[in-house]
Structure 1
């Protein structure tokens, strides 16, 4: 049943992305390049033959604006472990999870939705999680254009809507769960909907009235306050979820214990380095902290309930 669930999500990702691109074609920010961005960080030419530590991310923040910070983290890891690192960026959470599962990456920065969806496989281990703005939690916000008469999620019935990614807890699973509680599906509730594969693109789609509403990560909302305040000025929050544990840094459980402990120690102490403190700040991360399973109980329960309807 679990395999059927993930095949369904993958097919849903593909088919709805195609239909989404057809909606609002005049807006280029809902199209995506298919080529991956790859950055290899080498510690020294003498160690080029050593197998690099492959790090895969699908950033909740705009990747073009934050890719330099991820490269700095990769460089820091290379220095600390004495081994080259390779940074791989993927567009969707599904691609990140498949890459890690198939052995194409060694360590991944997972979204919360991806982590709880795959936790039952018992093949992954969370080394650390992010503390952002003083807390290990974030929220799912439903936003609408500021000058509309939409005041509740129920008011979005018959309107257009933007999801981010089918494995995004804040950008897909939470609003889908809200519909499920009303015995509705997105097809029944919305006039049309699309997937943007980016919380910032979803926010922009609402601000520019490409859609009537969207579900986004609160971290992206806070990021936009500092970097794109015009978007915040154009939207209004109408729904806020319960607190959600931030996305963890995960590895395969079969990685050696020594390697896992080394990586965990580097992550948990990264904020003590003055330069890395600024790097983390650029990603809106205060520091990495120990991952606590209880912080994921709420998203795990919602994900399980959503899975039971398939």
Structure 2
């Protein structure tokens, strides 16, 4: 079919326009996302999962409280995942993060240039005593009537960990096993594979209570208990179990496990950062609200050095070579 002269002219004009547009896009400078703080709005991402626990009224109360203290518009957002929270800080879509767990905090500090400005002090049990602290410990336990005394005897046996993403219930216990030569860090498809170097079967129960139930019912031979669980669960488990020992005779304890954190973007202007930090410490006057936004055992926020609080966990992730898994 013959193509008319008019059609050829139109096609030629369109081609010129398209080429010009492509060239313009190639030469157009990349735009860096503008900080919310620079626009007079301070954007805070909160701990993933919080949206299910807080009411609209509580969210509005927190926004209003922070706005009054900071003298600027505050916007709270509720990311669907830990990765989304980290990316928001990394690419300037958020100015701060309120209450993420230690794992998210460690990844944000090491990969997103986030700065630790406050940590949670929480109600925990350490050495059988109630304490208010920014850390706690976890313990490898077996039932009281179990024949096992040393963790070496559990090689090839069944273990229950609360979750593959639990710092106190999995990551730090793995680090304790690696430190003593029971497992060898290396590139693995998932962290569970490291635990399988020593244990015969690895179960993720979904929580400490579920793992304790599995131990009582004989479904596993060993589990982990931590000092930040509900006191009733802690004492039921510890009064009816024994803490295993390492081969040197010391108790099989992992930690210290860091508490939740408050972060800001590394390039946040100092004056804005100061306003935010002051507002965070003012939230110590609203502990009930923070128990919804941070953790159920929240007591207060305090300052703590990042090397003291998060570096042991960052080092554990690097040593075990599992950091990338938690960014998926």
- Above 0.5 in TM-score? yes
Q: Contact (CA 8 Å) 1:143, 1:237: kept in 2 or not?
A: yes
**More helix per residue: 1 or 2?**
1
Report how far residue 278 of structure 1 moved.
4.0
1:277 to 282, 287, 311: 287
Provide the residue aligned with 1:137 in structure 2: 135
Structure 1 residues 303 and 108: alpha-carbon distance in aligned structure 2, compared to 1, 3 A threshold: same
Report how far residue 122 of structure 1 moved.
5.1
2:76 equivalent to 1:81: no
Structure 1 residues 81 and 141: alpha-carbon distance in aligned structure 2, compared to 1, 3 A threshold: farther
Determine the C-alpha separation between the residues in 1 that align with 2:163 and 2:273.
29
Determine the C-alpha separation between the residues in 1 that align with 2:268 and 2:215.
42
So what's the TM-score if we normalise by structure 1?
Answer: 0.62
Instruction: Summarize the alignment of residues 147-158 of structure 1 with structure 2, pairs less than 5 Å apart.
Output: 147-158=145-156
Structure 2 unaligned blocks of 5 or more: 1-39, 123-130, 184-193, 245-251
Report how far residue 74 of structure 1 moved.
7.1
Q: How many residues align?
A: 250
Q: Contact (CA 8 Å) 2:172, 2:255: kept in 1 or not?
A: no
Report how far residue 126 of structure 1 moved.
1.4
Q: Secondary structure at the match of 1:148?
A: coil
Q: Secondary structure at the match of 1:139?
A: strand
Instruction: Summarize the alignment of residues 109-258 of structure 1 with structure 2, pairs less than 5 Å apart.
Output: 109-121=99-111, 123-132=113-122, 133-180=131-178, 181-182=180-181, 184=183, 185-196=194-205, 198-220=207-229, 223=230, 225-226=231-232, 230=236, 234-238=240-244, 239-258=252-271
Report how far residue 165 of structure 1 moved.
4.2
Q: Secondary structure at the match of 2:301?
A: strand
Q: Secondary structure at the match of 2:142?
A: strand
So what's the TM-score if we normalise by structure 2?
Answer: 0.60
Structure 1 residues 124 and 167: alpha-carbon distance in aligned structure 2, compared to 1, 3 A threshold: farther
Structure 1 residues 127 and 74: alpha-carbon distance in aligned structure 2, compared to 1, 3 A threshold: farther
Structure 1 residues 155 and 114: alpha-carbon distance in aligned structure 2, compared to 1, 3 A threshold: farther
Report how far residue 87 of structure 1 moved.
5.8
Provide the residue aligned with 2:275 in structure 1: 262
Q: Over aligned residues, Cα RMSD in angstroms?
A: 4.0
Report how far residue 160 of structure 1 moved.
1.7
Determine the C-alpha separation between the residues in 2 that align with 1:267 and 1:307.
34
Q: Secondary structure at the match of 1:113?
A: helix
Q: Contact (CA 8 Å) 2:66, 2:74: kept in 1 or not?
A: no
Structure 1 residues 104 and 153: alpha-carbon distance in aligned structure 2, compared to 1, 3 A threshold: farther
Residue deviations 1:204-233 (CA, integer Å, cap 9, x gap): 44445443333354212xx2x247865555
Structure 1 residues 162 and 114: alpha-carbon distance in aligned structure 2, compared to 1, 3 A threshold: farther
Determine the C-alpha separation between the residues in 1 that align with 2:222 and 2:56.
30
Report how far residue 291 of structure 1 moved.
2.8
Residue deviations 1:86-107 (CA, integer Å, cap 9, x gap): 463757x556545654667652
